[in-house]
Structure 1
Amino acid sequence: MHSSWHQGLSGLSETTVIKDFEKSRRNSEAEFTSPRQKSDQARTAVTPQSTPREQILKQIQPFSAGKEVCYEDLGCFSDTEPWGGTAIRPLKILPWTPEKIGTRFLLYTNENPNNFQILLPSDPSTIEASNFQTDRKTRFIIHGFIDKGDERWVIDMCKNLFKVEEVNCICVDWKKGSQTTYTQAANNARVVGAQVAQMLDILSTEYSYPPSKVHLIGHSLGAHVAGEAGSKTPGLSRITEYSYPPSKVHLIGHSLGAHVAGEAGSKTPGLSRITGLDPVEASFEGTPEEVRLDPSDADFVDVIHTDAAPLIPFLGFGTNQQMGHLDFFPNGGENMPGCKKNALSQIVDLDGIWAGTRDFVACNHLRSYKYYLESILDPDGFAAYPCTSYKSFESDKCFPCPDQGCPQMGHYADKFAGRTSEEQQKFFLNTGEASNFARWRYGVSITLSGRTATGQIKVALFGNKGNTQQYSIFRYNFCSEDTVREDTLLTLTPCYVA
């Protein structure tokens, strides 16, 4: 997400500054004509069939105006293209004020896993007085549409992280700005991304905390917000005794929060990592990179797609568009095991997907953060295979892993980052239906003595934690391709005997 942001006007209060600007100013002054000249030109251009109203519209069309709001320390935000007035974003909507959105930064650490401490970008002393440790990585978790920063899944993600590492876990709570109509929330996400970037800038300027220690994790809309922050925060401006670089930060965004992470990442050069958890489709798929999450928003961007079916008619809330260096499509990315669409979910509009029984309505969409949650404690249970399509993957055309290996979907995906410089690589895997989603893929090769045999094949796995049950994996008549001696072993292939 390349930045189109510019620094806010100095001296502005926290009130909104709205200013109209004319598109004609973008044209050269040589093209300017006086009102009298325009009137004459309009009269000569009007055909006999033109009505007075059409004549007026033709004269004022070159002066159609957009609007812009500016907030101190956050910059300016307009409603013109590509943010509004396009086929994908037809409505021109400005984001709310920071005060109305009410973003909070809730810090959990290994020392305070159950109670958060509030950090204020406007008051660095709140960081100084907290348990924030500059020698640790920082992971920001950014929720999506109609969600909140103190939701159970967000806190559980922090607690799982504390089991495997010492880390600063910051939950970005922008529930006031997300619990509105979807189109308004999508635009509010731009301000939230700028606020995340502002926090990263404070960590950089006050503590020299490098972007390479930052990981942004955004769900749905939050993923796109995280990306935007990367390009809007300047690099390190001064060094202090704390030496905390933005490169130690990880942004995590779910749903709409995935785009929030993208927004933040685009404002923070040198940001280490953004994880997009099923980035939302509506108002973002097919837009320019400056609007949505994209690989330029961080040094490493990984995306998990779990609800990528088209919004119409299948009510898929996530996007099928690849937006990272590594894009994971578990179970094909559209229908997750254990989730079933039904008539009720088909009639729920986008603004209401989180109302009431959200697990019932948005099961596929929520699986993205559930997979990530489990992956933290299961480092090798989500191996994903490079493949052109899920159909090819199901046909075993992409097994086993290539020479460079296979990445793990979820928390440990960054261990694969240095093995390739390519962007938008597609990976597939399968998961279980409920908790204990992790699955392992095995290849079974069997040889046959003789030309034919009839029976079935069952497999049981043995390990240091016990044995599995027997699984029936094959039931055919078996035959080899050629007639050979009985003591010759051949690769087994299925065949049908009349």
Structure 2
Amino acid sequence: MKTLLYLCLVGFTATTVPLKHDEVNYPRFVKLSDNDDVMQTVDLEEQPDTTLLEDIYRNPDNNRYLLYTRDNPLAPQTLQINNTFGVFFSKFHAWKPTVVIAHGWLSDQNTEVNIALTDAILRKSNVNVIVMEWRRLALSSYVTAVTGVPAVGRRLGQFLEFLHRATGAPFESMHLIGYSLGAHLVGNAGRELGGRVARITGLDPAGPLWNLNSNRLRSSDGIYVEVIHTDGGVLGQGIGSAIADADFFPNGGVSQPGCLTSFCHHKRAWELFASSVTYDHFLGRECSSMLQVSLNICHGKIFKMGNGDIRKRGSGLYRLNTGRRYPF
């Protein structure tokens, strides 16, 4: 059995992490962080921790699914896959829309993105919010985390399939939100479900080791897939190219007003989204090319960026300009 798991892991790793020549936009050593303004030096060519990955592959339920509702906005209940009894005696209600939040690298349950988005969403809408904590993998090296994201994402998809079977909660009322590495994670969850979830929002999806990675977030992962790009420069932490149905590039998508660091540019994606949930005030202007995005000369139709509308649909490239401070 151990040999079989190892062979599966080796094959999985080979298809998940692209060869280094695919990463044409990044040097070998880069500065990254999803949860700390102190940037970490990452070697994009290091070998992943196969011992940790093998254990995660063998025990996929190391992750936690933390349920918040308006009845328990601060004290979550833990849901478990295949524990129907636990779900029925929780505050989960199938008739409410379900919003899933997946954090990024070096993060856990208490990371700022989880707290801010959960608060904004529950203040605006009476929904189930499920924070997926995948800290065991997220606190490993960046290359190891990248390698394991697809498997963890698929397990999230299987958990949502369980909720659907156990409670009747429809995929058409599910919204998956992921920040940085979490964006690719929820993409894989949507793919596991055949692209049936209503909406996926990627908040500055991670760039290094994902440019030509077949497991990255893509438009077919949900009925409607939206991405907010905020740190897509040459050495930015996010993917700078369009990968979704609708791709928004606030302030050009490379740097953000009021920010002096890549970490600030990167996290501005979830800050803008949280603000959009509350105020629904960001108006993107459609662009015909990335050159128009960069030059801020877009003259197409207007389409709102962000918000929590589960029925939202649209496509194209969009540019908008924001302020320096909340609500931007």
Shorter-chain TM range is 0.7 to 0.9
- Identity %, equivalent residues: 28
> Is 1:277 matched with 2:277?
no
State the match for 1:68 in structure 2.
8
Q: Give the direction of change, closer, same or farther, for the CA distance of 1:287–1:394 in structure 2 (3 Å limit).
A: closer
State the match for 1:322 in structure 2.
242
CA distances 1:67-87 after superposition (whole Å, capped 9, x unpaired): 314xxxxxx962233545563
State the match for 1:60 in structure 2.
none
Distance 2:296 2:221 in 1: 34
State the match for 2:320 in structure 1.
429
The alpha-carbon deviation at position 150 of structure 1 amounts to: 2.4
State the match for 1:299 in structure 2.
223
Distance 2:18 2:213 in 1: 11
The alpha-carbon deviation at position 147 of structure 1 amounts to: 1.2
State the match for 1:378 in structure 2.
279
State the match for 1:354 in structure 2.
none
Distance 1:269 1:122 in 2: 22
> Is 1:411 matched with 2:302?
no
1:398 is aligned with what amino acid?
A: C
The one of the two structures with greater contact order (alpha-carbon pairs below 8 A, sep at least 6) is 2
- Spell out the pairing of 1:51-66 with structure 2 (5 A cutoff): none
State the match for 1:131 in structure 2.
91
Is the CA contact 1:143–1:219 (under 8 Å) kept in the aligned structure 2?
yes
2:55 is aligned with what amino acid?
A: T
State the match for 2:27 in structure 1.
none
Distance 2:61 2:147 in 1: 11
Distance 2:101 2:260 in 1: 27
Higher helix share: 2
State the match for 1:332 in structure 2.
252
Structure 2: gaps spanning 5 or more residues: 24-44
State the match for 2:154 in structure 1.
194
Q: Give the direction of change, closer, same or farther, for the CA distance of 1:390–1:100 in structure 2 (3 Å limit).
A: closer
CA distances 1:145-179 after superposition (whole Å, capped 9, x unpaired): 11112223312211211222110000011112111
The alpha-carbon deviation at position 91 of structure 1 amounts to: 6.5
Q: Give the direction of change, closer, same or farther, for the CA distance of 1:412–1:269 in structure 2 (3 Å limit).
A: closer
Is the CA contact 1:303–1:328 (under 8 Å) kept in the aligned structure 2?
yes
CA distances 1:452-473 after superposition (whole Å, capped 9, x unpaired): xxxxxxxxxxxxxxxxxxxxxx
Distance 1:366 1:169 in 2: 20
Structure 1: gaps spanning 5 or more residues: 1-15, 21-65, 70-75, 233-266, 342-360, 438-498
The alpha-carbon deviation at position 415 of structure 1 amounts to: 5.7
Distance 1:390 1:284 in 2: 19
Secondary structure at the aligned position of 1:114 is classed as: strand
Distance 1:189 1:101 in 2: 14
Indicate which of 70, 73, 79 corresponds to 1:110: 70
Distance 2:105 2:229 in 1: 17
State the match for 2:4 in structure 1.
19
Is the CA contact 1:178–1:188 (under 8 Å) kept in the aligned structure 2?
no
State the match for 1:238 in structure 2.
none
Q: Give the direction of change, closer, same or farther, for the CA distance of 1:198–1:394 in structure 2 (3 Å limit).
A: closer
Scaled by the length of structure 1, the TM-score of the pair is: 0.56
State the match for 1:310 in structure 2.
234
1:195 is aligned with what amino acid?
A: R
Distance 2:294 2:210 in 1: 30
Distance 1:416 1:107 in 2: 24
> Is 1:368 matched with 2:259?
no
Larger radius of gyration: 1
> Is 1:398 matched with 2:298?
yes
CA distances 1:434-468 after superposition (whole Å, capped 9, x unpaired): 1120xxxxxxxxxxxxxxxxxxxxxxxxxxxxxxx
1:382 is aligned with what amino acid?
A: F
The alpha-carbon deviation at position 394 of structure 1 amounts to: 8.0
> Is 1:178 matched with 2:138?
yes
Distance 1:412 1:168 in 2: 13
The alpha-carbon deviation at position 305 of structure 1 amounts to: 0.3
Secondary structure at the aligned position of 2:7 is classed as: strand
State the match for 1:24 in structure 2.
none
Secondary structure at the aligned position of 2:258 is classed as: coil
> Is 1:81 matched with 2:15?
yes
CA distances 1:334-360 after superposition (whole Å, capped 9, x unpaired): 11001114xxxxxxxxxxxxxxxxxxx
- Spell out the pairing of 1:197-208 with structure 2 (5 A cutoff): 197-208=157-168
Distance 1:319 1:101 in 2: 29
Paired residue total: 302
Secondary structure at the aligned position of 1:407 is classed as: strand
The alpha-carbon deviation at position 376 of structure 1 amounts to: 0.8
Secondary structure at the aligned position of 2:243 is classed as: coil
Secondary structure at the aligned position of 1:176 is classed as: helix
Is the CA contact 1:211–1:269 (under 8 Å) kept in the aligned structure 2?
no
The alpha-carbon deviation at position 283 of structure 1 amounts to: 1.2
2:239 is aligned with what amino acid?
A: T
Deviation larger for 177-186 or 78-87: 78-87
The alpha-carbon deviation at position 390 of structure 1 amounts to: 6.9
2:4 is aligned with what amino acid?
A: K
Is the CA contact 2:191–2:222 (under 8 Å) kept in the aligned structure 1?
no
Distance 1:125 1:77 in 2: 36
Q: Give the direction of change, closer, same or farther, for the CA distance of 1:338–1:18 in structure 2 (3 Å limit).
A: farther
Instruction: Quote the RMSD (CA, aligned, Å).
Output: 2.6
Is the CA contact 2:173–2:310 (under 8 Å) kept in the aligned structure 1?
no
Secondary structure at the aligned position of 1:281 is classed as: coil
- Spell out the pairing of 1:90-109 with structure 2 (5 A cutoff): 93=48, 94=50, 95-98=53-56, 99=59, 102-109=62-69
The alpha-carbon deviation at position 286 of structure 1 amounts to: 2.0
Is the CA contact 1:105–1:172 (under 8 Å) kept in the aligned structure 2?
yes
Distance 1:143 1:395 in 2: 32
Scaled by the length of structure 2, the TM-score of the pair is: 0.84
The alpha-carbon deviation at position 188 of structure 1 amounts to: 2.0
- Spell out the pairing of 1:123-162 with structure 2 (5 A cutoff): 123-162=83-122
